[in-house]
Amino acid sequence: MPIDLNGDLGESYGRWQVVDDRALMVALSSVNLACGFHAGDPSGLRLAVRAALDHRLAIGAHPSYPDLRGFGRVAMALPPEQVRDDVLYQLGALQALCHAEGETIRHVKPHGALYHAVADDPATAEAVGEAVASFDVTLPVVVRSRSRGAEVLEEAGLQVLREAFLDRQYRNDGRLVPRSRPDALVTDPVEIAERAVRLATEGSVVAIDGTVLSLAPHTLCLHGDGRDAGAVAIRVRDALEGAGVEVRAGTT
Amino acid sequence: MPIDLNGDLGESYGRWQVVDDRALMVALSSVNLACGFHAGDPSGLRLAVRAALDHRLAIGAHPSYPDLRGFGRVAMALPPEQVRDDVLYQLGALQALCHAEGETIRHVKPHGALYHAVADDPATAEAVGEAVASFDVTLPVVVRSRSRGAEVLEEAGLQVLREAFLDRQYRNDGRLVPRSRPDALVTDPVEIAERAVRLATEGSVVAIDGTVLSLAPHTLCLHGDGRDAGAVAIRVRDALEGAGVEVRAGTT
Amino acid sequence: MPIDLNGDLGESYGRWQVVDDRALMVALSSVNLACGFHAGDPSGLRLAVRAALDHRLAIGAHPSYPDLRGFGRVAMALPPEQVRDDVLYQLGALQALCHAEGETIRHVKPHGALYHAVADDPATAEAVGEAVASFDVTLPVVVRSRSRGAEVLEEAGLQVLREAFLDRQYRNDGRLVPRSRPDALVTDPVEIAERAVRLATEGSVVAIDGTVLSLAPHTLCLHGDGRDAGAVAIRVRDALEGAGVEVRAGTT
Amino acid sequence: MPIDLNGDLGESYGRWQVVDDRALMVALSSVNLACGFHAGDPSGLRLAVRAALDHRLAIGAHPSYPDLRGFGRVAMALPPEQVRDDVLYQLGALQALCHAEGETIRHVKPHGALYHAVADDPATAEAVGEAVASFDVTLPVVVRSRSRGAEVLEEAGLQVLREAFLDRQYRNDGRLVPRSRPDALVTDPVEIAERAVRLATEGSVVAIDGTVLSLAPHTLCLHGDGRDAGAVAIRVRDALEGAGVEVRAGTT
């Protein structure tokens, strides 16, 4: 079974540059590009689209709550129809920039607090599902594996790409240990690579309490803002390929 | 010869509602909808799209400099590639909202300070032209009649819809008397209607110094923020139809 | 016992004008002016300061979560230290505009979703209390009567002005019936005026289930965005004065 | 004669951190802190205030046009009264954050495109002067040496701190070579340090055409965003002190 390696990029804004997008791109098979609501001014996004195409990556949209200052990580009680229309607006905006470079959006992955709301709150999952369905019903949505949101989106007739995280610890119910906790992150590159191989070959991860969780992911997320993110990503890819796993996008 | 009557709408933002969009829509044949940079949150825009479709109006995009506070009327020295990508972003965003309602954008009319820069600054006209060409090369661009920008866009292979203003006074070089001058506006509804008929039937307007200016417009602009804007619009439409002029969109 | 009549004003933004600030000001004794985060650009705020001074009103700051689009009504999970520093920033900004007009801020009333969080969430109340204490420890804070937040702020050594609402229905626990419910608002001007007199003279209001609630308010809030807000405000003031109640600001 | 060494800091925004503020602070005698319009969220600014106080630096306000995306470098045609009120708003906001840390603003230095407009456009210089005068008439304003704006502000009764740039080339009329030109910057640390000593001891700099320009500066600006900005700053300070020049703030 092949697996996708995705990363969240295009997260610069104006003068504030996130420097090593390209270091991470070498190892990935797909990227989720910010759409202007948590990061990504139009010209910066266009450069990110070009960089992704240079690396032959599948480009997905990474829509967010409107929250530049909080980088889309602030939970917000928005009415579902606003969430729906905000996502549509962002999909269209990124699509136009992709189209100008001869490409098209291949998937949608909600960002930050919206990602978590899609996973855990059915009304938000439905709102995002309506946005995607009215934009392009064939577009897959990346959702946390074992989440209620994954079920809601599948029931709505959308293709779901189940996602697992390589550098985040899991609780035994399939949720992530919150970033506010000191043990939230997995930082050892060797351990990250081992988790990747186990997730790709057996579909499982060991939760923080020792429980073996079956996640059966289609795609594995690598964060780009950690230390040595590029080097970690290459190690993960090498480990996967060394274990005979094909790394490629678009596998549902 | 038919003529188009256009108005700038969708200019609410969140709680701040511009009330009488629908009053004006009754008389128009096309609308230019804000795209979020000077006005128009996504859900508000979606409602504006629906209202326009209820009135069977052709919908155009009304992209702007990024300037909510100044309502897109502040001149800004932006690099041309930023103008180009900002316009693309806005076209895509509005297109997605139109598409969700079963429609598509029919034209592009730059807004406010960007409109004037397109008319008078060739680099800005080229930047907007590149954005439109890469989005959809068949999409016409509404530009001030007799402007340098109209020539630049035609040279770039784009369709241009020459625009004349009914409630603004002209200088003898074809430019508008600036809003900052007390005699900038034409406010008498009878005079506005007479100007509409003369522009539609003879293609000309009398400038503020008495010069007869040939504008040969494809489309006439009615502003929605004046007093009794809806009533004025109906009077204009009645006068045009009374003079045997067909009012309809999309006439190049 | 005198009572204060307050209103939330300065809620324009750029071109989007809320028209009848002055109609309401005639009847009030104090105003809460937006500080730029949910409404209020600097020049618009300066005009609002001048108008308030023309009407001899006490000026308070009306700080908000950063949320222009949602008009500060969107609940947000912000870290308490961000809430604290956001409030400080807004207090200082409005103070500078007041100072330039020869005045100073007389009180602080959190706005919208922040108002409700101060009332119900002790961590938010503490954060706002720290901001006010470090700005000017003598500045009173307007808080919902009978709320946990009122206690938290008093325990922090701040002066609290207990507030009651004239045009909102109460639940029997002292909370407001949410705006999303059809029976949230009191709209009959006669009833609003009667509630004002009872609150000012007896300190009580009848909750939606018939319970008599003791609120003992220092200040009564009139909203400016309802129909005929100015006329309602004058009726309330007349009713209060007719009942022998002195209407004036600054009564703790 | 002592001289001031100033740097522009506090230029982070939310998650986007400019990393080495402290590296530069070691060498400076004063800092200009962003006020939220081109950079600087309230909590980030408060941290910057604390860091400046740890290094015993004089804190100045660095107000800007409202332009997060363009980092305040986009020229904007704003009405002078908006510039005035925007500056007041920012001064008050930063002052509140300073006051909470036991400090007060010591000077004002306009940022980016506003800095250049103050230097070259008398109406903008007057608007900024009015803002400073109504905030605190004793607060000095940092302005480009030999500029029209320096004269305008002095005529308005304000204290002016004339500024020279160490890492920017000058034209023979006292203006800076625009950043868009390849020869705009001085990058050799040895040359930067030599320019600092000559400006501090003789008051002059050699323009790009060889002309010796008399600038007689009170303060020298070091940019923090170049490569090795911290190391360059320490070299400059060492060179000044080695030449017997005292580096300290507040010297008019």
Per-residue confidence band for B189, with pLDDT thresholds at 50, 70 and 90: very high
Which one of B76, B78, B86, B89 would you mutate to disrupt binding with D, by most D Cβ within 10 Å of its Cβ?
B76
- pLDDT at position B75 is 97
For residues A161 and A141, what is the distance between their CA atoms, to the nearest angstrom? 6
Work out the percent of chain A whose per-residue pLDDT is above 70: 98
| Closest chain D residue to B65, measured at CA | D76
Cα C234 to Cα D196: distance, rounded to the nearest angstrom: 66
Task: Please check the confidence at residue B191 and state whether its pLDDT lies above 90.
Answer: yes
DSSP for D13-66, please give it: BTTB--TTHHHHHTT-SEEEEE-SSSS--HHHHHHHHHHHHHTTPEEEEE---S
State in Å, rounded, how far the first CA of chain B is from the last one: 10
Residue of C nearest to B70 (CA): C14
The shortest C-alpha distance from B107 to chain A (Å) reads 15
Grade residue A251 by pLDDT with cuts at 50, 70 and 90.
low
Cβ A78–C70 below 8 Å, yes or no? Answer: yes
Question: Is the pLDDT confidence value at C252 over 80?
Answer: no
Is D134 or A9 the better-scoring residue by pLDDT? Answer: D134
**What's the pLDDT band for C139 if we cut at 50, 70, 90?**
very high
pLDDT grade for C20, boundaries at 50, 70 and 90:
low
Q: Across residues C88-100, what is the average pLDDT?
A: 98
Question: What tokens were used for D194?
Answer: 């030599």
Answer yes or no: are the C-beta atoms of A2 and A248 closer than 8 Å.
yes
pLDDT of residue A119: 97
Which residue does chain A place closest to B102, by CA atoms?
A134
* pLDDT, mean of residues B105-125: 98
Contacts of A69 in chain C (CB under 8 A): 66
Distance from CA of D15 to the nearest CA of A (A): 6
Among C69, C77, C113, the residue with its CB nearest the CB of A74 is C77
Q: Do B89 and A100 count as a contact with CB atoms less than 8 A apart?
A: no
- Decide if D135 and C88 are in contact by the 8 Å CB cutoff: no
> Lowest-pLDDT range, A58-62, A178-182, D49-53, D158-162?
A178-182
The single-letter code of the amino acid at D82 is Q
The model's confidence at residue B224, banded by pLDDT at 50, 70 and 90, is confident
Between D206 and D229, the more confident residue is D206
> How many residues in chain B?
252
C71: nearest CA partner in chain B: B15
Q: What is the CA radius of gyration of chain B?
A: 17
Note which residues in 70-129 of chain D have CB less than 8 A from chain A: 70-71, 73
C16 touches chain B (CB under 8 A): yes
Tell me the C-alpha to C-alpha distance, in Å, between residue D167 and each of C132, D60, D225.
42, 21, 11
Interchain CB distance below 8 Å, B88 and A42: yes
Query: Which parts of chain D are beta strand (E)?
Result: 4-9, 30-34, 58-62, 107-108, 141-144, 160-165, 204-206, 212-214, 219-222
- Residue B233's pLDDT is 93
Contacts of D93 in chain C (CB under 8 A): 89-90, 92-93, 96
Hey, where are the domains in chain C? Answer: 2-165+218-223
Residue B182: how many CB atoms within 10 A of its CB?
6
- Residues pairing with B31 in the sheet: B7, B59
Residue D96 pLDDT exceeds 80? yes
Cα–Cα dist B125/B117, whole Å: 7
**Chain C: closest CA distance from residue D33 (Å):** 14
Query: What does the pLDDT read at residue C251?
Result: 57
CATH topology of domain B2-165+218-223: TIM Barrel (3.20.20)
Q: Which residue of A has its CA nearest to D72?
A: A15
Q: Let me know: does B5 contact B220? Beta carbons within 8 Å.
A: yes
DSSP track, C137-167: TT--EEEETT-HHHHHHHHTT--EEEEEESS
Query: Which of these, C240, C238, C236, C233, lies nearest to C24 by C-alpha position?
Result: C233
In B, which residues are within 8 Å of C68 by CB distance?
13-14, 68
Per-residue pLDDT of B156-175, as tens digits, reads 999 999 999 999 999 999 99
Question: In this structure, what is the dihedral angle of CA atoms C184, C188, C194, C199, given to the nearest 10 degrees?
Answer: 20
Q: Chain D residue with minimal CA distance to B180?
A: D79
- pLDDT tens-digit map of C37-47: 999 999 999 99
| CB neighbour list of residue D2: distance below 8 Å, 6 or more residues apart | D245, D246, D247, D248, D251
pLDDT tens-digit readout, D123-144: 999 999 999 999 999 999 999 9
Note the pLDDT tens digit of each residue in B6-61: 999 999 999 888 766 778 899 999 999 999 999 999 999 999 999 999 999 999 99
Cβ neighbors of A154 (< 8 A, separation 6 or more) are A160
Q: Mean per-residue pLDDT for A224-252?
A: 88
Query: pLDDT (tens digit, 9 = 90+) per residue, D6-21?
Result: 999 999 999 888 766 7
* Rounded Cα–Cα distance for residues B54 and A111 (Å): 35
C219: helix, coil or strand? Answer: strand
To the nearest whole angstrom, how far is the Cα of C67 from the nearest Cα of chain A? 9
Backbone torsion region of residue A125, taken as left when φ is above 0, otherwise alpha when ψ lies between -120 and 50, otherwise beta? alpha
Q: Which two tokens stand for residue D211?
A: 């002309």
Beta strands at A30-34 and A4-9: parallel, antiparallel or unpaired: parallel
Residue of B50, B85, B135 for testing the chain A interface, max A β-carbons within 10 Å:
B85
Residue in B66, B75, B113 nearest the CB of D69: B66
Write the single-letter amino acid at A93.
A
Q: Which of C86, C95, C99 sits opposite D42 (nearest CB)?
A: C86
In this prediction, residues C124-138 reach a mean pLDDT of: 98
Both structure tokens of C162 = 């207990």
Contacts of D49 (CB under 8 A, 6+ apart): D10, D33, D59, D97, D98, D101, D103
Q: Which chain A residues contact residue B63 at CB under 8 A?
A: none
Question: In this predicted model, what pLDDT tens digit does every residue of C105-121 receive, in sequence order?
Answer: 999 999 999 999 999 99
User: E strands within D168-230?
Assistant: 204-206, 212-214, 219-222
- Determine how many CB atoms are found less than 10 A away from the CB of residue A228: 13
pLDDT band of residue A194 (cuts 50, 70, 90) is very high
**C97 closest CB neighbour out of D88, D94, D95:** D88
Please name the residue ranges forming H helices in B3-74: 21-25, 42-54
For testing contact with chain D, the best of A8, A13, A15 (most D CBs within 10 A): A15
Q: pLDDT grade, residue B148 (50/70/90)?
A: very high
Q: What is the residue-wise DSSP string for C7-23?
A: EEE---BTTB--TTHHH
pLDDT-based confidence at A32, cuts 50/70/90? very high
ipTM associated with this complex? 0.96
Nearest CA among A36, C73, A100, A85 for reference residue B37? A36
Report how far residue D44's alpha carbon sits from residue D41's, in angstroms, rounded to the nearest whole number: 5
Distance CA D95, CA D103 (A): 8
Alpha-carbon distance of B158 to C213, in angstroms, equals 69
Rounded-to-integer distance, Cα C229 and Cα C28, Å: 12
Integer CA distances (angstroms), D172 to D175, D184, D191, D219, in order: 7, 13, 19, 20
Rounded to a whole number of angstroms, the CA Rg of chain A reads: 17
- Maximal C-alpha separation, chain C: 48
- How far, in Å, CA of A27 to CA of A29, rounded? 7
Which residue type sits at C108? V
- Mutation for testing the D interface, residue in C15, C68, C88 having most D CBs under 10 Å: C88
| Cβ of residue D68 closer than 8 Å to a chain B Cβ | no
Q: How far is D68 from chain A, CA to nearest CA, in Å?
A: 8
pLDDT of residue B229: 84
Integer Cα distance of C33 and C9 in angstroms: 5
Please state, as a whole number, how many other Cβ atoms lie within 10 Å of the Cβ of residue D158: 22
pLDDT for the residue D212? 97
CA distances from B59 to A36, B33, C189, D35, D64 (A): 24, 7, 43, 40, 37
